[in-house]
Structure 1
Amino acid sequence: MSTITRGMMLDAIIIGGSYAGLSAAMQLARARRQVLVIDGGQRRNRFVEYSHGFLGQDGKKASAIASEGKAQLMAYKTVSWVEGQAISALPQGEGFAVAVEGQASYHARRLILATGVSDQLPAIEGLAERWGRSIFHCPYCHGYEIDNGRIGVLASGPLSHHHAMMLPDWGQVTLFTNNCYEPDAEQLAALHQRGVRIEAASVRRISGVATVGLQDGRQLEMDGLFTLSTVRINSPFAEQLGCEMTEGPMGTVIRTNEIKATSVPGVFACGDAARMAGNVAMAVADGAMAGVAAHQSMIFEAKAA
């Protein structure tokens, strides 16, 4: 672990120490660059016990993947770690200055935003406390474990049609439209062909493991539920820096190119804050690309801005 001295110009600061941030830092550490990771300790998947679909780590505790990744990263002598909340990230000279609440400001030639996002969930009683336990958003991460059982899709908007069309590969699907959207004739035919049952009654609450209580009093037991959240980026730094953003059906994310560079020279972004959908495997891949690109930019580009 490296020691940061006052006024030291680092090679890169990474805001966010979850999977994408860890992966980005690893690439830079292996290039023997001075790297600082600033982490507020709020992984998006902290509500989930086990992670799935990540090659070599399938079925492992999500917290263990993160903690072991950090331990491996911190074995590199050029890496520093600060636990705390970054409160500003601004251009300064030929690099960037990042202030941490109650601590110092740090300076680096390159900046990687791996801040992640927060899920804004449908306002259904009983949903939030089951999020990540019996209610999910990613079929590839959690569909297999339902073991071809009864799956409910809680609609949150028109995009839920896509969700409902996918999920029959993992179980017997009921789509609860819940006054969020009404499938047209073509969509109804497609859902019927996929074997999806449609329930139009309003959802009142979720109880038990995944029992859907309807406004008319019926209780429909499911083995698991899926719903689409909207997302909010966990920091304002991309907008503060002037990065271009992308609006999508699930929320706003940071626009990046194929090497995870933002529209602001010297600033890279990776993980869920810079893609419309993702999982641990995609976050790690994003981080690796951002770390490699940030390193190469220091060789082939004159300065950050």
Structure 2
Amino acid sequence: MHFDVIIIGGSFAGISAALPLARARQEILVIDAGERRNRFAAVSHGFLGQDGREPGQIVSEARKQLERYPTVQWMNAKAQTAKRTSNGFAIEIDGKSVKQARRLILAAGVADRLPAIPGLQERWGKSVFHCPYCHGYELNRGRIGVIASGEHSMHQALMLPDWGETTFFTNGLFVPNADQAAQLRARAVKVETTPVREIAGKRADVCLEDGRIVTMDGLFAMTQTSVQIPWAEQLGCALEEGPLGQFIRTDGVKQTTAKGIFACGDVARAAGSVALAVGDGMLAGTAAHRSLMFGID
């Protein structure tokens, strides 16, 4: 079967992109590898009408609603490669089958790489977070630590005092200059320069190299991200370098630099959230439909 649109990624952005296409009675296929970025978090916050719900439940319910439309097909699989054809795109799935479509929407998100500190990865999404708007409120203005992954972590350290008493663990990665130190003092941020040995305890005990243990109610760390679709560049999608890693360049309606290919969600933003991913998906889905209606490449 030749689809109108294939969507790579079935999380918040991908389902949101699929919905307007389904309602326009387009034949669509969603290919999802089951690697939702916020799968480590117990609850999701900041998404209108869904605040405090388990993110997997939100996605599961959204998928059920989407699959009520008769022109929608869903595959739990990994899209391994893609190539341009004379009338669209051919997607190879798990090395077993090939699906074809006139348009392609990339919504597979990004992968996070945390600072290499023992105990940090195990607490990711539980007591170690990256977004204060998503998880800061629940720390109840308690003791909050920011683990530096570089100078760019200054941004987090200056934000977090609105959510609690903040300590910035520079971890030997950089020394704040005079202007940065003044900014941190103005925000009442404590600076701890001793390198971090590991994170331990039930929540977030920061064990320092000198033997001290600083107990925190929660930690924040900026990750480095990588695009989950390694073959996007081969199709002509330009990538951009953001402060946290690469993402796919798009215009105002989520069109990439490659004809017929749109991208949405975290894979197409320098930073993201559930709400932004859903909005991006709607833009990408309607733009892809418009391109089909009017023959826009």
Instruction: With the length of structure 2 as denominator, give the TM-score of the two structures.
Output: 0.98
Task: Confirm whether residue 139 of structure 1 aligns to residue 132 of structure 2.
Answer: yes
Q: Match for 1:234 among 213, 228, 236?
A: 228
Task: Confirm whether residue 263 of structure 1 aligns to residue 257 of structure 2.
Answer: yes
Find the aligned partners of 2:95 and 2:260 in 1 and give their Cα distance.
Answer: 26
- Residues 101-155 of structure 1, C-alpha deviations (whole Å, 9 max, x = no match): 1432111110000011110110001000000000000111000000100000000
Q: Which residue of 1 aligns with 2:145?
A: 152
Q: Which residue of 2 aligns with 1:126?
A: 119
Q: 1:244-283 alignment to 2 at 5 Å? A: 244-283=238-277
Counterpart code for 1:292: T
- What SS does structure 2 have at the residue aligned with 1:51? coil
Task: Confirm whether residue 114 of structure 1 aligns to residue 111 of structure 2.
Answer: no
Find the aligned partners of 1:220 and 1:177 in 2 and give their Cα distance.
Answer: 14
Q: Match for 1:48 among 26, 36, 41?
A: 41
Q: Which residue of 1 aligns with 2:188?
A: 195
Task: Confirm whether residue 59 of structure 1 aligns to residue 52 of structure 2.
Answer: yes
Counterpart code for 1:29: A
Q: 1:56-95 alignment to 2 at 5 Å? A: 56-95=49-88
Q: Tell me the matched-pair count.
A: 296
- What SS does structure 2 have at the residue aligned with 1:265? coil
Find the aligned partners of 1:180 and 1:89 in 2 and give their Cα distance.
Answer: 39
CA RMSD across the alignment: 0.8
- What SS does structure 2 have at the residue aligned with 1:237? coil
- What SS does structure 1 have at the residue aligned with 2:111? strand
Name which of structure 1's ranges 121-130 and 293-302 shifts more when overlaid on structure 2.
Answer: 293-302
Find the aligned partners of 1:263 and 1:101 in 2 and give their Cα distance.
Answer: 26
In the alignment, is the contact (CA less than 8 A) between 2:165 and 2:189 conserved in 1? yes
- Residues 66-122 of structure 1, C-alpha deviations (whole Å, 9 max, x = no match): 101111110111000011111111111121111101432111110000011110110
Task: Confirm whether residue 292 of structure 1 aligns to residue 286 of structure 2.
Answer: yes
Q: Match for 1:221 among 215, 220, 238?
A: 215
- What SS does structure 1 have at the residue aligned with 2:282? helix
Q: 1:159-170 alignment to 2 at 5 Å? A: 159-170=152-163
Find the aligned partners of 2:61 and 2:96 in 1 and give their Cα distance.
Answer: 26
Counterpart code for 2:67: M
- Residues 5-63 of structure 1, C-alpha deviations (whole Å, 9 max, x = no match): xxx22110000011100100011101110000001011011000100000000000111
Find the aligned partners of 1:87 and 1:37 in 2 and give their Cα distance.
Answer: 14
Find the aligned partners of 2:89 and 2:39 in 1 and give their Cα distance.
Answer: 30
Q: Match for 1:99 among 82, 92, 95?
A: 92
Find the aligned partners of 2:79 and 2:211 in 1 and give their Cα distance.
Answer: 47
Extract unaligned runs of 5+ from structure 2.
none
Q: 1:33-44 alignment to 2 at 5 Å? A: 33-44=26-37
Find the aligned partners of 2:106 and 2:231 in 1 and give their Cα distance.
Answer: 8
Kindly report structure 1 stretches of 4+ aligned residues shifted beyond 2 Å.
Answer: none
Counterpart code for 2:31: I
Name which of structure 1's ranges 231-240 and 38-47 shifts more when overlaid on structure 2.
Answer: 231-240
- What SS does structure 2 have at the residue aligned with 1:107? strand
Identical aligned pairs, as a percentage? Answer: 56
Q: CA deviation at 1:210?
A: 0.5
Extract unaligned runs of 5+ from structure 1.
1-7
Counterpart code for 2:186: Q
